[in-house]
Chains A and B, each alone.
Chain A
C-alpha cells in the first residue's frame, strides 16, 4: 500500500473507500485481493477508525492491545494493506462532497490552504464513514470536564490521557461499558456507570443473544473488569445535572421512570472531576443523503442507509458498510466491508461473512430497541440549558419558537433560533432540537458539505462543480 498525498492529481480507481475504520479496512483489503485498484481515504492520519484508534507510533506503546479487543485482527489487516500494491491510503483527506457522473468524483480537504484540496475519481464508491455519538443535553453539560463517552475513549486510546481522576460514565448503550472498562484499567476511578435503560429489553432476545457468543464474551469481560475495579452499574437512572462553575465538580443522578422522566426527589449527588456521557451512536451518512440515498429509521430512532443484501444503497454505484447501515459494532463492520467488496467486484458473497452479518444485525436491532431514548427525557432539560453548544441557544428559545412562534418542525426551529447552525452542523444538538420541537428523534440531516471547507478551496474557478 502506498501512502499517497494525491499530488499526482486525479487517478481513476476501481473503488474509492471513504473511511478507514473496520468496515473500510476490511473492504479495501478484500477488494485488493479480488484485483481492484482501491483508494482508501480518511480524515484522520492513521488507519483504524474509532474501534482501532491507537497511539501515534512516537508514543512507543509496547502493548496497545491492552486498550482493544481484536487488536490482532487490526494488525493483520494493517500488514496486508501495507503490502498491497493495489491500495493507496490517502490519510488526512476529509471528503466534503461526492459527485456522480460517468464515474465518482470525490472532493476532499487536507488543510487550510488553497492548495490543500484534493480530487479523487473512481468507478465505485463505498461509504464507510462510521458514526458519531448522540448527545441529550442536560443542565451543566457544557462545563469543562464533561466529555463524550466515545471522546474520552478516543483521547485515551490515541493520546494516553484522561480528563480527570474520578470519572462518572453515563448515558445509554453498550459503549458505556467499554469506555468505563478502559478508563478504569487506565487508572481512573469510576464511581458509577449510570445507564438510562434497565437492560430488560435484552431478555426478549434470548435466541439472538445465544447466536452471538463473541459479543456475550466481550460483555462478560467488561463486566468482570468493572467488578474488579468496584464500578457500580446504576440502571434506570440519568445524570440530570452537572455541577461546578468553571469545571465539573459533581453530578446529580436521578432515577428514571419507564418513559425516562426523572422521578422527583430521587436525585443523589456524586462527586467527580469528569463525566463521560453519550446516548448511543448516529450513523454518519451526510455524503450519501446529499446524493439522495434512501434511508431507514433504526429501532433507536436514528437514520441509517438502506442497503440490499450486497450492501448496495439505492444510488447506483454507491455501496455502504459498517455503522452507516445502522450501528452494530466492529465485527459487523468488518463483515459488511468484505461483503461490499465482493459485490463491487461482481463476486459471490462469502458464506462466513453472510453468517456474521445476519447474527450481528440481529444483535444490533435488539440493542437499538433496548437503548432507545424514552419520550420524556426532555423533562431534565431546564429552560436555561444551552441545547446548541455552538450557538449557545437555550432550551427556552427552542420551546418559545414552538409554543409562541408556531414552529412545527426542527427545520423551522433552527431558522428561528440558530440552534444547529454552528460549526458542528447540528451533530451535537440535532436529536435534542428534534425532540424539543415535538418531532421524532431525527430523520436524516442534510449537510451539503460534510465538513467546513476553506473558502479558497470551494471557489476554485476551473472546477465544473461550483458552477
Chain B
C-alpha cells in the first residue's frame, strides 16, 4: 500500500523539477516539498549559524523551516509552492542572500 493506492489516485503524467541540478519527478498537484519527500529528499537548506540541514517541519506554511531558492528566488516555502514543470530548486545556505524580504 502507498498513499496513492489508498485514495485511488490517478494523476496525470509527472512533471520534472530540478533539485540542485538533478531531475526529480513531481506529480501534478504536489507541492515542491511533497515532490522532494516522494523522492526521499528531506533537507534543502542549511542554517545560518550552525550550517545544519533542514527541510519541511510543519508542512503548512507556519515554521519557515522549508525555505529554499526556487528559480533564483531565495526564501521560498516549498511546502506551499505547487511544483511546476522545470522549476529549479537549489539548496539554500543561510539567508540565501542579504535581503530578507518575503
Residues of A within 8 A of B (CB): 43, 50, 55-64, 66-67, 112, 132-133, 142, 144-148, 150-156, 158-163, 185-187, 246-247, 386, 389-390, 392, 422-424, 427-428, 452-456
Knowing A144-B53, A145-B42, the reply to whether A186 touches B59 (Cβ < 8 A) is no
| 30 chain-A/chain-B pairs, Cβ below 8 angstroms | A50-B60, A58-B11, A59-B9, A60-B10, A61-B8, A62-B8, A63-B8, A133-B58, A147-B58, A147-B59, A148-B59, A151-B59, A154-B60, A159-B31, A160-B4, A160-B7, A160-B9, A160-B34, A161-B37, A186-B1, A187-B5, A389-B65, A424-B62, A424-B63, A424-B64, A427-B62, A427-B63, A454-B102, A455-B101, A456-B101
B79 an interface residue at 8 Å Cβ cutoff? yes
Neighbouring B residues of A422 by C-beta, 8 Å: 64
CB distance from A358 to the nearest CB of B (A): 30
CB distance from A432 to the nearest CB of B (A): 14
User: 10 additional contacts, CB 8 Å, given A150-B58, A187-B2, A454-B102?
Assistant: A59-B28, A59-B29, A60-B11, A63-B8, A148-B58, A148-B63, A160-B4, A161-B34, A186-B2, A428-B62
How many pairs, one residue from A and one from B, have CB atoms within 8 Å of each other in the complex?
157
Knowing A59-B28, A428-B63, the reply to whether A392 touches B12 (Cβ < 8 A) is no
Neighbouring A residues of B49 by C-beta, 8 Å: 392
B102 with A452: CB separation less than 8 A: yes
Most buried by A among B6, B8, B35: B6
Partner of A155, one of B1, B33, B73: B33
CB distance from A45 to the nearest CB of B (A): 8
A59 with B42: CB separation less than 8 A: no
Neighbouring A residues of B54 by C-beta, 8 Å: 142, 144, 389
Closest residue of chain B to A245, judged by CB?
A: B53
Report the separation of the CA atoms of residues A62 and B8 in the bound assembly, to the nearest whole angstrom.
Answer: 5
Report the separation of the CA atoms of residues A344 and B3 in the bound assembly, to the nearest whole angstrom.
Answer: 41
Neighbouring B residues of A133 by C-beta, 8 Å: 58
B55 an interface residue at 8 Å Cβ cutoff? yes
Report the separation of the CA atoms of residues A456 and B102 in the bound assembly, to the nearest whole angstrom.
Answer: 10
Closest residue of chain A to B61, judged by CB?
A: A43
CB distance from B65 to the nearest CB of A (A): 6
B97 an interface residue at 8 Å Cβ cutoff? no
Knowing A67-B7, A424-B63, the reply to whether A155 touches B2 (Cβ < 8 A) is no
**Complex interface bits, B23-46 against A, C-beta within 8 A gives 1, otherwise 0:** 000011111011101100011000
Report the separation of the CA atoms of residues A156 and B3 in the bound assembly, to the nearest whole angstrom.
Answer: 7
Neighbouring B residues of A64 by C-beta, 8 Å: 7
Neighbouring A residues of B59 by C-beta, 8 Å: 147-148, 150-155
Neighbouring B residues of A159 by C-beta, 8 Å: 29-31, 33-35, 37-38
Partner of B62, one of A132, A144, A160: A132
Knowing A160-B3, A186-B3, the reply to whether A55 touches B9 (Cβ < 8 A) is yes
CB distance from B45 to the nearest CB of A (A): 10
Q: How many B residues face the partner with a CB closer than 8 A?
A: 47
Neighbouring B residues of A427 by C-beta, 8 Å: 62-63
CB distance from B7 to the nearest CB of A (A): 4
Report the separation of the CA atoms of residues A428 and B73 in the bound assembly, to the nearest whole angstrom.
Answer: 25
B21 an interface residue at 8 Å Cβ cutoff? no
Neighbouring B residues of A160 by C-beta, 8 Å: 3-4, 7, 9, 27, 30, 34
B57 with A392: CB separation less than 8 A: no
Most buried by A among B5, B11, B42: B42
Knowing A151-B60, A390-B64, the reply to whether A66 touches B7 (Cβ < 8 A) is yes
B85 an interface residue at 8 Å Cβ cutoff? no
Neighbouring A residues of B65 by C-beta, 8 Å: 389-390
- The 5 lowest CB-CB distance pairs between A and B, nearest first, are A159-B34, A56-B29, A151-B59, A62-B8, A58-B29
B88 an interface residue at 8 Å Cβ cutoff? no
Neighbouring A residues of B27 by C-beta, 8 Å: 58-59, 160
**Complex interface bits, B59-85 against A, C-beta within 8 A gives 1, otherwise 0:** 111111100000001000001001000
CB distance from A386 to the nearest CB of B (A): 8
B28 with A151: CB separation less than 8 A: no
B55 with A423: CB separation less than 8 A: no
Closest residue of chain B to A160, judged by CB?
A: B3
Neighbouring A residues of B60 by C-beta, 8 Å: 50, 132, 150-151, 154
CB distance from A251 to the nearest CB of B (A): 15
Closest residue of chain A to B7, judged by CB?
A: A61
Report the separation of the CA atoms of residues A392 and B29 in the bound assembly, to the nearest whole angstrom.
Answer: 33
CB distance from A398 to the nearest CB of B (A): 16
CB distance from B55 to the nearest CB of A (A): 5
Report the separation of the CA atoms of residues A424 and B57 in the bound assembly, to the nearest whole angstrom.
Answer: 12
A392 with B48: CB separation less than 8 A: yes
B56 an interface residue at 8 Å Cβ cutoff? yes
Neighbouring B residues of A63 by C-beta, 8 Å: 6-8
Report the separation of the CA atoms of residues A154 and B59 in the bound assembly, to the nearest whole angstrom.
Answer: 6
B57 with A62: CB separation less than 8 A: no
B43 with A247: CB separation less than 8 A: yes
Neighbouring A residues of B102 by C-beta, 8 Å: 112, 452-454
Knowing A58-B11, A112-B102, A163-B42, the reply to whether A155 touches B62 (Cβ < 8 A) is no
CB distance from A417 to the nearest CB of B (A): 13
